[in-house]
Amino acid sequence: MNLALGARTTPRGHTPPTRRTTDRVIPALATLLLLLASTLITFDPEGVGHTAATITNLIFFLGAAAGPILLRATPLRSWIQTSIACALLACTVLAESEKTIFGQFTPADLFFLASYAILGTWFARGAYKLGSYDGLARLDAAASVIGSTLTLWICVLAPLNETPLASGLVWAIYPPLDFVFLVLALHLATDANVLRTSLRWFMVCAAAWTLLDSATAYLAIVYGITTPGPLIDIGYLIAHYALFRSATHPSIGRTRTPSHSNWTRTHPLRDRGIALSTLTISPTILSTLIPSVGTVDTLTRTILISILLTLIFIRLERSMRAITRAEEHSRHQATHDSLTGLANRAALLSELDNRLAHRADPTTPTNEIAVLFIDCDDFKQVNDTWGHAVGDQLLRHIATHIPPHLHPEDLLCRQGGDEFVIITTYTDHAHIDHLARTVAAACANPTTILPGHQHSISLSIGIAHTSPGHPATTDTLLGHADLAMYEAKQRGRGRHIHFDTALAHRATERATIAHHLGHAINHNTITLELHPIHAGPNHQHTHGWQALPHWHHSTLGIVPPERFLPIAEEFGLSETLSTNMLTQAATAIADLRATHPHTPDLYIRINIAADHLRNPDFPRHARHACATANIPHHALHLEINETALTQPQPETLTTLDQLRNDGFPLGIDGFGTGHAPLITFIRRPFHFVKLAQELTHNLDHDPDAPRTIRAIVSLLRSLGITHIAAQGIERTQQATILLNEGIDSVYGPHYSPSTHTTVPTPPAQTT
């Protein structure tokens, strides 16, 4: 018999052991020995058969004792217990004697009982290591004991009649002990998923012992037959053969013993229920089939059956409660987010469906429903910069700071990722606006994400709501709220927007643009629009060109860059578009330099998408574009939006350093709106800076604007940046002020019209 309570791991780099030849030979020899001994017992039970049975039993017991040692089961100190127990069983064969000691017990009885005690201790330790001593296990054990007691009373003890008690107990003590081993093995086999084959062999042995010892005791007590015959002897041979197979199964050599951490339990409620039914219902049926033999027998049966039924009822009630708790836990897991503990998307859809159905019922007055779709601004950048653990911390921060500001009937859900949804009722728009501002303020306080570093959470919130007399669906409300949230992000983030018809129109238009954008990028129908950059005295000379993407669609017409560039970024197309523009820009400046041979320092400036800067292959793409167009690197000026440097990722900074080392002039586009840290400009000097158009648009109307420009120019020059550009210049007065404030290069409609490139380039490759 054997039980493993944990698996020995296979060393890394080694394959599991294959089945050895001895794994087949030993069972085959044992089977042949069993058949031979059984045959001899059948034909000569008193002579050669008796000797063969004795030798075979001795071999089986000694083999079972040696099995764990020869198989190198670990730890050996635990398996030594089973070896000692099997060795004691071998001693019972050698101690066959009719001479009794200690009353009616023979030396063989003492060896048997000592072996049983050691095996029982080993099994009990295994059950303890498994962690099976819970309430249900104790009930199962009690019911099994009562059931086995009832069986033994009916089959063995009740028929004792006039048999002396001491003599009867010698025969009757073995079946209960055998049955205890069967229960322990069955219990462990149903609760653990290791050494199942070895345990099954031992259960065959224990079951055979129980039946054979019960039959022997019954024959000895009732009929006085102490030598039951060859069939019983063959039965014992089979039992001891099963014990041998259990102790020599190859899995023992690959298994460690009691280790609770390595046990895994398998369907305890289901398998225990099967075992419990076998060990309790069967004795009850047996009590009905076998008539009682007196008043004491009847009373004893009644008491035992009553106790047994009570235990079964308690067990059933506790099992139902355990199943109910498990179902409740399963439902909670199915409807709640594991990270934040909030209701998940499934619960959101169900709740919104129910509320809309309740609203549609004319017999039930109810308020209108509003949905607030919440998105954490710059969450992807936080994840990429600080790691997912910090991102999870921010999500939990949001999940704990919003609920205190909600009404009891409001529901906060985590939609997924960094998106949350609030379902609420409202009476007017002011109520919804107040809730949106409160929620945003609740999360805005800086939170410590790492030692010495705090982060302020900004939320973009989209709002959609039902209106009296207008039907609504779950998909419609959530879709409208999502669109409103996206609009809030487009308008600068950290704000809330209501869905309306104008937004619906823009959403439709945006979807149309998105539908055609991929085709346009893949087929290079988006070209470059070149704006001459003027510099020198009075900004009279053309020193280069600003390249902007230009998309003229056959049905959409001219689509401005500010319309399709955010969509390209959202759908992951910005890197491919940036590669196309880079190739076209290199070809365009090569042609322009060829047509202006007396101006060798002409250059072209092009904006590079933030996604492209995170690609470590981008410097190679830039070098390849210059090599293909046969232009020097300094003719291709690369611009980066200031927002990309607000919290720059390591990959971005590495790419910028590589481009600078390759000789590409680098500049900042839109300076003054992105809040890039000054330390970035100090550690990584840039060749030029282009001011945000918001700083120059009202330059000739705002009396404070020139002073602002002057301060910015002074700051940039103190950082070593001497080339400062302005964009979108439309009026003479703007140009005059910029010239007076030291802006060295400008471009816009005031100076000269833009031109369009018609550079034939193959579809961009994303490699």
* 463 and 374 within one domain: yes
Query: Over 60: is that where the pLDDT of 136 sits?
Result: yes
Q: Does residue 311 form part of some domain?
A: yes
The set of residues, in sequence order, having a beta carbon less than 8 Å from that of 151 and lying 6+ positions away, is 179, 282, 283, 286
**Residue 641: strand pairing partners:** 669
Q: Does residue 334 form part of some domain?
A: no
641: helix, strand or coil = strand
- Which comes out higher in pLDDT, residue 226 or 494? 494
Please report the pLDDT score of residue 241 as a whole number.
94
Give the integer Cα–Cα distance in Å for 641 and 690: 10
**Which of the four pLDDT bands, split at 50, 70 and 90, describes residue 279?**
low
Please report the pLDDT score of residue 205 as a whole number.
92
Domain-ending residue, one of 499, 531, 556: 499
Q: Does residue 504 form part of some domain?
A: no
Helices (H), 467-500: 474-490
Domain-ending residue, one of 433, 464, 499: 499
Q: Does residue 652 form part of some domain?
A: yes
Give the integer Cα–Cα distance in Å for 248 and 83: 11
Please report the pLDDT score of residue 117 as a whole number.
87
Q: Does residue 630 form part of some domain?
A: yes
* 372 and 236 within one domain: no
**Which of the four pLDDT bands, split at 50, 70 and 90, describes residue 344?**
very high
Domain-ending residue, one of 499, 522, 537: 499
Query: Over 90: is that where the pLDDT of 75 sits?
Result: no
CATH code of 578's domain: 3.20.20.450
pLDDT tens digit string along 144-154? Answer: 777 777 776 77
Please report the pLDDT score of residue 262 as a whole number.
43
* 525 and 382 within one domain: no
* 438 and 314 within one domain: no
* 524 and 386 within one domain: no
**Which of the four pLDDT bands, split at 50, 70 and 90, describes residue 763?**
very low
Q: In the chain, what's the furthest Cα-to-Cα distance?
A: 133
* 546 and 516 within one domain: yes
Please report the pLDDT score of residue 760 as a whole number.
41
pLDDT tens digit string along 366-387? Answer: 778 999 999 998 888 788 778 8
Query: Over 80: is that where the pLDDT of 448 sits?
Result: yes
Give the integer Cα–Cα distance in Å for 131 and 465: 54
* 528 and 610 within one domain: yes
Q: Phi first, then psi: what are they for 665, rounded to 5°?
A: -65, 130
Please report the pLDDT score of residue 471 as a whole number.
86
* 478 and 525 within one domain: no
**Which of the four pLDDT bands, split at 50, 70 and 90, describes residue 238?**
very high
Please report the pLDDT score of residue 569 as a whole number.
84
Q: Does residue 452 form part of some domain?
A: yes
Q: Does residue 161 form part of some domain?
A: yes
Query: Over 50: is that where the pLDDT of 102 sits?
Result: no
Q: Lowest mean pLDDT: which of 148-152, 167-171, 217-221, 615-619?
A: 167-171
Q: Phi first, then psi: what are they for 402, rounded to 5°?
A: -85, -45
The predicted model gives 624-648 an average pLDDT of: 89
pLDDT tens digit string along 577-599? Answer: 988 999 999 999 999 999 988 88
Percent of the chain with pLDDT over 70: 83
Query: Over 80: is that where the pLDDT of 397 sits?
Result: yes
Please report the pLDDT score of residue 163 as a whole number.
52
Please report the pLDDT score of residue 547 as a whole number.
93
CATH code of 495's domain: 3.30.70.270
Helices (H), 559-617: 561-570, 574-595, 610-613
Q: Does residue 252 form part of some domain?
A: yes
**Residue 336: strand pairing partners:** 343
Contact present, 662 and 619 (Cβ < 8 Å): yes
**Which of the four pLDDT bands, split at 50, 70 and 90, describes residue 264?**
very low
Give the integer Cα–Cα distance in Å for 105 and 215: 19
Cis peptide before 75 (omega within 30 of 0): yes
Residue 14 backbone class (left: φ over 0; alpha: ψ -120 to 50; beta: rest): beta
Q: How far apart are the first and last CA of the chain?
A: 63
Nearest by Cα to 490 from 380, 575, 566, 381 = 566
Could you tell me the residue range of the domain that residue 676 belongs to? 511-756
**Which of the four pLDDT bands, split at 50, 70 and 90, describes residue 675?**
low
Please report the pLDDT score of residue 764 as a whole number.
43
pLDDT tens digit string along 471-484? Answer: 889 999 999 999 99
**Residue 529: strand pairing partners:** 548, 756
The set of residues, in sequence order, having a beta carbon less than 8 Å from that of 556 and lying 6+ positions away, is 512, 513, 516
Give the integer Cα–Cα distance in Å for 300 and 755: 109
- Which comes out higher in pLDDT, residue 282 or 166? 282
Q: Lowest mean pLDDT: which of 81-95, 114-128, 254-268?
A: 254-268
* 362 and 275 within one domain: no
* 275 and 227 within one domain: yes
Q: Domain tally for the chain?
A: 3
State CA 286 to chain mean position distance.
Answer: 51
* 427 and 403 within one domain: yes
Buried b (16+ CB within 10 A) or exposed e, 11-41: eeeeeeeeeeeeeeebbeebeebbeebbebb
DSSP 459: E
* 431 and 303 within one domain: no
